[in-house]
A and B are shown apart, each in its own frame.
Chain A
Amino acid sequence: MMERTFLARNPSVLIFIALLALFTLAVTVLSEGLGTGFVSTAMVKTLGMTLCFCLIAIAMDLVWGYCGILSLGHFAFFGLGGYMIGMWLMYARTEDIVIASLAGADLPPTEQEIVDAIGTQIFGVVGSSEFPWVWAFADSLLIQLVLVVAVPGLLALVFGWLAFRSRVTGVYLSILTQAMTLALALYLFQNDSGLRGNNGLSGLQNIPGMADTPQSVLSVWFLWASAVALGLGYMFAAWVVSGKFGSVIRGIRDDEARVRFLGYPVEAYKLFVFTITAVMAGIGGALYYPQAGIINPAEVAPIASIYLAVWVAIGGRGRLYGAVIGAAFVSLLSTWFTGGRVPDVDLGFYTIEWVSWWQVALGVSFVLVTLFAPRGIGGLFDLFINRRTPDRHGADLGPDTGSLREKEAET
């Protein structure tokens, strides 16, 4: 049997990429910045951010749906990616402003004066003007971009090494990842953490050196960047899970001890998946926060990572498009419900206000999906195709090309 190419074996990847491209194009054509203006800039940003959520959902599906590690800490990595790019954005933009304001002075400002002025601007809110050590490379876009990948990756590597090495699994591991997120959030909340405490980093939507480009155009660029990242992330994840590696990690999910007795170093596989998905989450965050405009420690709160698990469960774990559907569907619905524009339901004796009741509705649907539709929304596709088409084997059983083939009929 000939080995077919990766895309031929995984037609769902092509379909996904095509749909993603179509979606991004459509939004561009309808955008305020580059198109007819039917879709507002705020909406373009929301859609771009949703694509970033889809990316982290794929990471979550890889680590949970395929490898069986219920991490409740991936939003910490997402947030760290955001903080890393946020530092450069804030530094470089403040630098532009400071230089412009000092330009009128009689004496040209010295290097040190500029740095001091930037420090005062950025850290004034936390009563300081000194640059903390974590800002050491904030003036270099290149280094901060490397840190977007390196900081979440290293944290995941160290945390995962400690946890997996001591064979922590199941609910204990989930609790441990929650503890990690909580610790990170509490640390970031402190004013002397060096990242402006609960103020977080703001003004991130203003891209340094692009003061003349309106937000309506920038938002479309970020939409495209997010779409490209999502497309690449999807292809990467599909490649990882489609081969023998995917077979091993699904084996780990279903029976870890058995995989060990086959001679596979299970801990190394888990560490690999945990780290690589943390990096994906970091990249997602680095694209998300320039669109959101602000990042603060609340974004890293443990609850965010729990929502992530809910998205993936509702979308259908163990299938990549399920994770994407879940993240897009639930987060957009959530934006809509919490946006305050959904009419309240008047029951006569009680009025349901969606802004507060949406959380309850989400919680209930999560329980319902877990109990009655463990395959999630993605499972609906099975009803249509009944069986994954790329898995066709053998000759046709009947005269029609559409009829079941030999091997399919057995299952």
Chain B
Amino acid sequence: MSTLLEVSGVSVSFDGFKAINNLSFNIGPAELRAIIGPNGAGKTTFMDIVTGKTRPDEGEVLWGEKNQSLLRLSESQIAQTGIGRKFQRPTVFEDQSVEDNLLLALKKNRSPFSVLVFKKAEADTAAIQALAEDIGLSDQLTRKAGELSHGQKQWLEIGMLLAQDPQLLLVDEPAAGMTLAEREHTTTILKDAAKSRAVVVVEHDMEFVRRLECKVTVLHEGAVLAEGSLDHVTKNQDVIDVYLGR
């Protein structure tokens, strides 16, 4: 299988504390992958590195067919190459309508001059409608995002990710603060999304991970502890020691 994203030998430390320790990790195109691990394992930091927010001290992050290094690109350039990210805490533009939030994310030329003369076409309105349908917000389009419930904000953020139409989606704890029904809907959205692109989901909740039915990577102290199906990793003694059997 070819790889879409290849992280090799990456390390990063904060004030001497090694948050990521010689981490290597591959993900193929159209693959759904869950990353689990205790708090402070470095899951969010891993996403920070891939999206350009944090620069690693060592190692390489390669992207796509041409094995382009992501470490030399800025956050916005990385996003434009096709990596979308959902943050742990839902971050939507609260002061703007759901529609405007989605429009901002919609895949379009991002340069100031083309945005300045941008006019919303019928196709864009239709695309936004369709997205809103997927994330269950079609009757909330004109509301300010700040007025949505916590779960709805999570969905809006996922919708914004889908609107970007990225090749790789990094999703940090999407189910946090959701009801059971909302979690199920979220599972469906993520599984659907993974049909045409790679999706990496960081999650704490085992039930949620089980429902994703995908390969699981266990992270511990900034390195991969185990990898495989959920049943496989949950039988691993190391994993039981550090995570499950706490």
Whether, in the assembled complex, A263 has its beta carbon less than 8 Å from a beta carbon of chain B, the answer is yes
A29 at the interface (CB under 8 A from B): no
B118 close to A254 (CB less than 8 A): no
Tell which of B92-100, B198-206, B231-239 binds the partner: B92-100
**Pair A255/B91 contact, Cβ less than 8 Å:** yes
Within 8 A of A (CB), among B124-173: 125, 142-144, 147, 160, 164
A272 B112 Cβ-Cβ under 8 A? yes
Q: How far is the CA of A265 from the CA of B74 in the complex (A)?
A: 9
Q: Which residues of A contact B74 (CB under 8 A)?
A: 260, 265
Q: What residues on A are CB-neighbors of B104 within 8 Å?
A: 244, 247-248, 251, 259, 262
A244 touching B103, Cβ below 8 Å? yes
Residue of A243, A257, A261 with highest tally of chain B CB at under 10 A: A261
Whose C-beta in chain B lies nearest to the C-beta of A273?
A: B112
Q: Is A135 part of the binding interface, using a Cβ–Cβ cutoff of 8 Å? A: no
**A269 on the interface (CB 8 Å rule)?**
yes
Could you say which of A1, A264, A410 contacts B110, with CB atoms under 8 Å apart?
A264
Q: Which residue of A lies closest to B107 (CB)?
A: A263
Q: Which residues of B contact A264 (CB under 8 A)?
A: 76, 110, 115
Q: In the bound complex, what is the Cα–Cα distance between A410 and B103 (angstroms)? A: 21
The answer to whether B76 and A260 have CB atoms under 8 Å apart is yes
Interface of B is mostly: mixed
Compute how far the CA of A258 lies from the CA of B93 in the bound complex, rounded to whole angstroms.
Answer: 9
Tell me the minimal C-beta distance from B132 to chain A in angstroms: 14
The reply to whether A254 and B93 contact each other, CB–CB distance below 8 Å, is yes
| Inter-chain residue pair count (beta carbon < 8 A) | 88
Contact across chains for B144 and A411 when beta carbons are under 8 A apart: yes
B118, A243: Cβ atoms under 8 Å? yes
- List A contacts of B87 (CB < 8 A): 258
Contact A263 B110 (CB under 8 A): yes
Question: Which of chain B's residues 41-59 have a Cβ closer than 8 Å to chain A?
Answer: 51, 53
Known contacts A244-B104, A411-B143, A411-B147; 15 additional CB pairs below 8 A are: A3-B120, A243-B116, A244-B103, A247-B104, A250-B96, A251-B104, A254-B94, A257-B75, A258-B91, A260-B75, A260-B76, A261-B84, A265-B74, A407-B143, A410-B143
Pick the 6 closest A-B CB pairs, nearest first.
Answer: A263-B79, A260-B75, A263-B80, A244-B118, A407-B142, A272-B112
Partner of B96, one of A247, A265, A266: A247
A268 contacts the other chain (Cβ, under 8 Å)?
yes
Q: A1-B125, A247-B104, A272-B112 are in contact. Are A261 and B51 (CB under 8 A)?
A: yes
Give complex CA distance A261, B81 in Å: 11
Q: How far is the CA of A257 from the CA of B85 in the complex (A)?
A: 11
| Chain A residues at the B interface, C-beta cutoff of 8 Å | 1, 3, 240, 243-245, 247-248, 250-251, 254-255, 257-266, 268-269, 272, 391, 393-394, 407, 410-411
Q: Known interface pairs A258-B91, A263-B79, A411-B144. Does A247 touch B103 (Cβ–Cβ under 8 Å)?
A: yes
Q: How far is the CA of A56 from the CA of B196 in the complex (A)?
A: 50
Which of A250, A264, A407 is packed against the most chain B CB atoms within 10 Å?
A264
Residues of chain B within 8 A (CB-CB) of A263 are: 76-77, 79-80, 110, 164
Least distance between A151 CB and chain B CB atoms (Å): 22
B82 to chain A, nearest CB (A): 9
Within the complex, the shortest CB–CB distance from B145 to chain A, in Å, comes to: 10
Taking the nearest CB of chain B, how far is it from the CB of A259, in angstroms?
8
CB distance from A64 to the nearest CB of B (A): 16
User: Are A262 and B143 in contact, with the CB atoms below 8 A?
Assistant: no
Q: Which residues of A contact B147 (CB under 8 A)?
A: 410-411
Alpha-carbon separation in the docked complex, A207 to B137 (Å): 62
Q: Decide if B142 touches A393 in the complex (CB within 8 Å).
A: yes
Picked from B75, B96, B125, B144, the residue with its CB within 8 Å of the CB of A251 is B96
Q: In chain B, what residue has the closest Cβ to A247?
A: B100
Chain B: minimal CB distance from A95 (Å): 41
- For residue B149, give the distance in angstroms from its CB to the closest CB of chain A: 13
A243 to B103, CA, bound (A): 11
In the complex, whether B119 has a CB less than 8 A from a CB of chain A is: yes
Find chain A residues with CB under 8 A from B111 CB: 265, 268
Q: How far is the CB of A265 from chain B (nearest CB, A)?
A: 5
Are A269's CB and B93's CB within 8 A?
Answer: no
A-B contact pairs, 16 of them (CB 8 A): A3-B119, A244-B103, A244-B120, A245-B115, A247-B96, A247-B100, A248-B104, A250-B96, A254-B94, A255-B91, A255-B93, A260-B75, A261-B84, A263-B77, A265-B110, A407-B143
Nearest CB of chain B from residue A272's CB, rounded to whole Å: 5
| Distance in Å: Cβ of B85 to nearest Cβ of chain A | 5
Other-chain contact of B76, A1, A266, A394 (Cβ < 8 Å)? A266
Q: How far is the CA of A245 from the CA of B110 in the complex (A)?
A: 10
Contacts of B84 in A (CB 8 A): 261
Cα of A261 to Cα of B75 in the assembled complex, Å: 6
Q: Report yes or no: B112 in contact with A269, Cβ–Cβ below 8 A.
A: yes
Residues of chain A within 8 A of B75, CB atoms compared: 257, 260-261
Nearest A-chain residue to B120, judged by Cβ: A3
Measured in the bound complex, the distance between the Cα atoms of B105 and A379 in whole Å is: 30
On whether A254 and B110 interact (CB within 8 A), knowing A1-B125, A3-B120, A244-B118, the answer reads no
